[in-house]
Structure formats: structure tokens, C-alpha cells
Amino acid sequence: MTQTSATFLDPSVLIGIKNLTVRARTVVEGALVGEHISPFRGGSVEFAQHRAYSPGDELRYVDWRLYARTDHYHVKQFEVTTNLRAYLLLDGSGSMGYPVDGPISKFRYASILAGALAYVLVQQSDATAVAVSKGKEVEFLPPRSQLGYLTQILGVLENHQPQGEQGIPNLIQYALDRVHHRSLIVLFSDFFVDIPELMAKIKILKSRGHDVMVFQILHPDEESFPFNRFYRFESMEDDQYLPADSQAIRQAYLEAFQAHQTQFQQALHQTGIDATLAKTDDPPDRILAKILNNPLRAKKLRRMY
């Protein structure tokens, strides 16, 4: 592992997630047998449960022994574990570069989270893909599960410099165009975009059966707006700027920001996606642990079978 990789795979992060298992919330397709549950009844199976027979079920899955005991037809269901395809989509637009001269920018923080997640997934032999928006282009590494592939993934994350605008919608569109198998799609962004437009794309992802995880990365400045001088606020994505007295505009800013956040959270909630809000001063391992241990996932898994 290279020196640069070590930057992302912070030991404290890795210790925090060492014993965590990434479990898919919904059934995903996979060729390889892994720790993820397959929705298909395959050959190498692990019995899961019985279910009352209904017309159309194949007769070969009828448990005749149970019929003999109960005089009722039941069919056997099996858990088939498959490999997970995970697509880590990182918003690499300009706004993710904030703060420019701070210790850790939003993109870097997102990279840590994504790198840790990739590490965990690759360790489990899950195919992991990474896509980073680069202006209007997208830098994409297709899903692979080799351990050595991790180095490439981390290299892409490390070498990217935030630039351009509208990163996340482009990325989602990119994924929609290319990801045909059901996959875990993890979005890392500040989501400072038009919410209805964004949600339209996310809904399409969901409708295709993808498991969507959302990490909203924010800097504490954006939430509290602690400025108190006359600044010329410059956009990090285009040429727009605004000279303003920060104290005078603070209230209106906070209102606009909160309105956006509320709208975003509500939209995600309605869609059935719970987002994780990560601020750059939060410990990344806690964030990872929190999302991976979310009890909702187990519950949803159980409901599927």
C-alpha cells in the first residue's frame, strides 16, 4: 500500500469499522457467493425458511417431508449470498473543495469515507467501482474485487482536485447510463443542487432496484455561517460572486440553507432513503459505523423473504 493510500485509510477509521459487515439492504445481483443475500434460488443454497405454497411455485421446491407431517404444501426458500457491486459516486465539483485553505476540505473528507468503504468492500471481495465528477467529465473505475484494485481506487480519489459545477447530477446520470445490475450506489456530495431535479434522478435509481446510500458532506461554516466581516463571497464553481456584510446577511443565509436542508431531508425520507449528514469535523469512523449498523437494514432484509 502506498503512502498516499495510507492517508485515506486512517487507522482510527479502519479500527472503527474492522468488525463491521457491509450488508446490502436489498437483494443485489452477484455472481460470486459472498456474505450478501441473493434473491435468486441458486444451487449452492442455505435454507432460509418455509413459505406456504401458492399456485405457480415450482414443485421441486415443495418440502414433501413437511407435507407428510402437516398435510399442507410448503415451499422451501434459500438464502443465496452473492458478491456485492458497489458504486461509490463522489461529487468532485468545485464547491466540494471548501475550505480552500482549511485542514480538510469536504472532498477530502468524502474521500476518506469512500476510501474506507472501498477498503471494507474489497476486503469482502465485493466489486467496488468509483466515479468522480471532473467538470463535465467523469473519472470512472469499473467494479473490481481484487485487493490490488484498492490502490487504484484510492489513487483516483487522492489525485482529484475539485472543479466544475453540478457534480452530483452528472454522476447520477452517468450511473443511470452504465449501471444495469442492481448495485449499492453510495453518493458523496454536499448536495448543493436543485433538489427536485436531483430527486428525480435518485428516484430512477431506486426504481431500478439499486440500494442508494447518501452521505451529505458539509463544512461547519456552511451550517453556522460564523463570518462577521465584509466579504466578497466567490463561487467555487463559476464566476459568480457577492460582496456582502456577513453579519447583515447571516440570518437570511441561514434561513435559505435550512430551507434547502429541510427540503432535501424530506425528499429523501419520502423516497425511503436515509441520508447521513457528515460534517468535516465529525470522526469518519463513527459515521461509517453508524451507517453500516443501521438496524433498518436488517429489518428490511427480513421483510424481503
Partner 1 sequence: MNFLNLTLLAPLALLGGLAIAIPLYLHLRHKPRAIPLQFGALQFLLKAQKKRKRRFKLEQFFLLLMRCLFVLALALIFAQPFKEMILGADDNIGNKPLVMILDNSASMLANNGADSFWDQAKAQVRAILDKRGNTPTLLLISSQPERLVSMRSADEILAALPGLKVDLRRSSLDRAYQEALNIIQQEGWGSARIHILSDGVISAWDQVPSEPASGVEVVTSTFLDADKFSNFGIERVDQIESAESLDLEVRLINGGGVGTTFNVDIKPEKDSPIQHRVNLESHETVSHRFALPAHSAGPVLVSLQEDNFPIDNQVTFIPGSLQAPRIVIVDGDTNPVAQRSESFFVANALQLQFGKEVLVITPAGLNADLLSKTDVLLMLNVEVPPTEWLADYLQKGKGLFISTGNRFSSEAWNAFLQPFDLQFWEWVNQPELVELKQADHPLLQGVGVSDWEMYLSEFQVFSHQLISLGRSQYKAVFTYSDSAPALVCGDTGPGRIAIWPSAMDLEGSNVPIAVGFIPLMRQIVNYLSFRETKNSVESLLVDDVIAQGLEDKLVLKHVNPDFRNLDVQGILPGVYSTADSQFERMIHVFLDPRESDFKPISSQTAGNEAEAFEKLGFKNQLRIDLGPGLLWLVFAIVCMETLAAGFISLRWGQR
Whose Cβ is closer to partner 1: residue 36's or residue 106's? 106
What is the side-by-side strand order in the sheet with 137-144? Answer: 137-144, 127-134, 85-90, 184-189, 211-218, 275-279
Identify which of residues 82 and 95 has a Cβ nearer to partner 1 in the complex.
Answer: 95
Q: How far is the CB of 278 from partner 1 (least distance, A)?
A: 15
User: What Å distances lie between residue 25 and 83, 123, 169, 249, CA to CA?
Assistant: 13, 19, 23, 43
The candidate with the shortest Cα–Cα distance to 30, out of 191, 251, 181, is 181
The C-alpha torsion from 131 through 132 and 134 to 136, rounded to 10°, is 50
Please identify, using beta-carbon distances, which residue of 166 and 183 lies nearer to partner 1.
166
* Shortest reach from residue 270's CB to partner 1, in Å: 22
Helix (H) or strand (E) holding 284: helix 284-292
Q: Are strands 184-189 and 211-218 parallel, antiparallel or unpaired?
A: parallel
For 270, the 3-state DSSP assignment is helix
Q: Which is nearer to partner 1, 98 or 119 (CB)?
A: 98
Positive or negative: CA dihedral 145, 2, 286, 274: negative
Residues in a beta bridge with 187 = 89, 214
The distance of closest approach from Cβ of residue 272 to partner 1 in the complex, given in angstroms and rounded to an integer, is 27
Which stretches of the chain bind partner 1, using CB under 8 A? Answer: 94-100, 106, 190, 192, 219, 221-222, 227, 229-236, 240-244, 248-249, 252-253, 255-257, 260
- The nearest distance, CB 246 to partner 1, in angstroms, is 9
CA distance 277 to 206: 20
For the CB of residue 223, give the shortest distance to partner 1 in the complex, in Å. Answer: 9
Q: How far is the CB of 195 from partner 1 (least distance, A)?
A: 12
Residue among 52 and 248 whose Cβ is closer to partner 1: 248
Q: From CA 177, how far away is CA 84, in angstroms rounded?
A: 19
The nearer residue to partner 1, 25 or 106, going by C-beta atoms, is 106
